[in-house]
Amino acid sequence: MPLVAHNDLPTFAKLQQEGLQVLTPGLADQQDIRELHIGLLNMMPDAALAATERQFLRLIGESNPIAQFFVHPFTLDVLPRGDSAREHIKKYYDDFEQIKQLGLDALIITGANVIGPDLSKEVFWASLIEVADWAHQNVTSTLCSCLATHAVLDFRYGQKREQQAVKKWGVFRHQVVDVSHPLVDDINSQFDVPHSRWNSVYRQQFMDAGLKVLVIGDDGCVHLATSPDGFRTIFFQGHPEYDTVSLLKEYKREVNLYIAGEITEYTPLPENYFCDFNAAICREYQGRVDKSLAQQSQVPEFPEHLLLKNLQNTWQDTASAVIGTWLGLIYQLTNVDRRKPFMDTVDANNPLGL
């Protein structure tokens, strides 16, 4: 069911242009449908702020539960921001105090940029713990994405992420390993998920923390897991919210950093993402870039227009299905008073009866 454009956030208009159903508050008021209020703690840097909004709102808007979705983006004041991002946040975002007063049915926490291996030294650390701990006590379910998963595994379960020898970057095949959980009902037993990270929390670490591992990659990497109760916290290590073009945009940014001399090695192609034609174009462009830099001549423009038409999305249907199931379960487990995490008839330690 539809998103409700309860404020002037530009993401609503862009999703509407894509064909997603978005209700005005006036139309929403005319429908006898229950609301779900979902917080989106957006910790992404300025350049990815709006794109991250669109990615998660799209997944929410494409889900199937019979509800109206009010999404409330907010961020952490301690994160460094430029003038444009600060203005966007001031105009369209709630602050954490407003979120606490409102109450939420669910919360999504995005990833963030980090500057070192020790997450506890990041500027957002204490503020993130405050939000996550509040949600753990007051919100029915919290979904953690990538870096947020690593942070919660660290401060709540004592499992620190480890840097990998090479960056896990591309689109990878995964498989369901626990078919008993409703989050993986009615999805393919094997499906793709994009990843983009240098660090990992490994399967044994999830198990040592007493967490339920639901989906792993062909290399044993955990993508989807839950807290011991099966629902209070949902962990993604991949990026199922990514747009079809997200890895292309990231690849282009990395290539431009190489051209500018900010990194010394030309970035490799993301795995299992480009078709043979696109891979050939990228390799040819790399040769042209290196030749131009060696001759100190003008570097040719990145051939994005040639790559776009050949991109394939092999993950979004499964991502929408998982998010839809998650929101459907939240709908069943909450009531109209969002300040009560579970209905009185539900066992908070095992809400799904697993």
Q: Give 85's DSSP letter.
A: H
- Return the residue matching tokens 């939240």: 330
Q: Give 2's DSSP letter.
A: -
- Whether 345 maps to a domain, the answer reads no
- Whether 348 maps to a domain, the answer reads no
Examine the domain organization and report whether 128 and 141 are in the same domain. yes
Tell how far CA 103 is from the center of its chain: 21
Could you list the pLDDT tens digit for every one of the 354 residues in the chain?
567 888 888 888 888 888 776 777 776 565 557 789 999 999 999 999 999 999 999 999 887 666 789 999 999 999 999 999 999 999 999 999 999 999 999 999 999 989 788 999 999 999 999 999 999 999 999 999 999 999 999 999 999 999 999 999 999 999 999 999 999 988 999 999 999 999 999 999 999 999 999 999 999 999 999 999 999 999 999 999 999 999 999 999 999 999 999 999 999 999 999 999 999 999 999 999 999 999 999 999 999 999 999 999 999 999 999 999 999 888 878 875 654 554 444 566 777 767
146 a catalytic residue: yes
Question: Residue 34: helix, strand or coil by DSSP?
Answer: coil
Examine the domain organization and report whether 184 and 72 are in the same domain. yes
- Whether 93 maps to a domain, the answer reads yes
Burial 17-44 (b: 16+ CB within 10 A, else e): eeebebbeeeebeeeeeeebbbbbbbbb
How many domains does the chain fold into? Answer: 2
Examine the domain organization and report whether 299 and 164 are in the same domain. no
Examine the domain organization and report whether 319 and 304 are in the same domain. no
- Picking from 308, 325, 348, the residue at the C-terminal end of a domain is 308
Closest-CA residue to 63 (of 332, 352, 325):
325
Examine the domain organization and report whether 147 and 164 are in the same domain. yes
221 a catalytic residue: no
- Whether 350 maps to a domain, the answer reads no
Examine the domain organization and report whether 133 and 271 are in the same domain. no
The CATH number of residue 325's host domain is: 3.40.50.880
In terms of C-beta density within 10 A (0-12 exposed, 13-18 middle, 19 or more buried), how is residue 165 classed?
exposed
Catalytic residue among 72, 88, 122, 146: 146
- Whether 351 maps to a domain, the answer reads no
Examine the domain organization and report whether 164 and 303 are in the same domain. no
Examine the domain organization and report whether 228 and 111 are in the same domain. yes
Residues present in the chain in total: 354
- Whether 151 maps to a domain, the answer reads yes
Catalytic residue among 122, 195, 239, 282: 239
- Whether 347 maps to a domain, the answer reads no
- Whether 173 maps to a domain, the answer reads yes
Catalytic residue among 174, 241, 254, 282: 241
Backbone CA torsion sign across 69, 39, 319, 267: positive
Examine the domain organization and report whether 32 and 54 are in the same domain. yes
239 a catalytic residue: yes
Domain that holds residue 45: 3-242+315-333
pTM given for the model? 0.89
Q: Are 3 and 12 in contact (CB under 8 A)?
A: yes
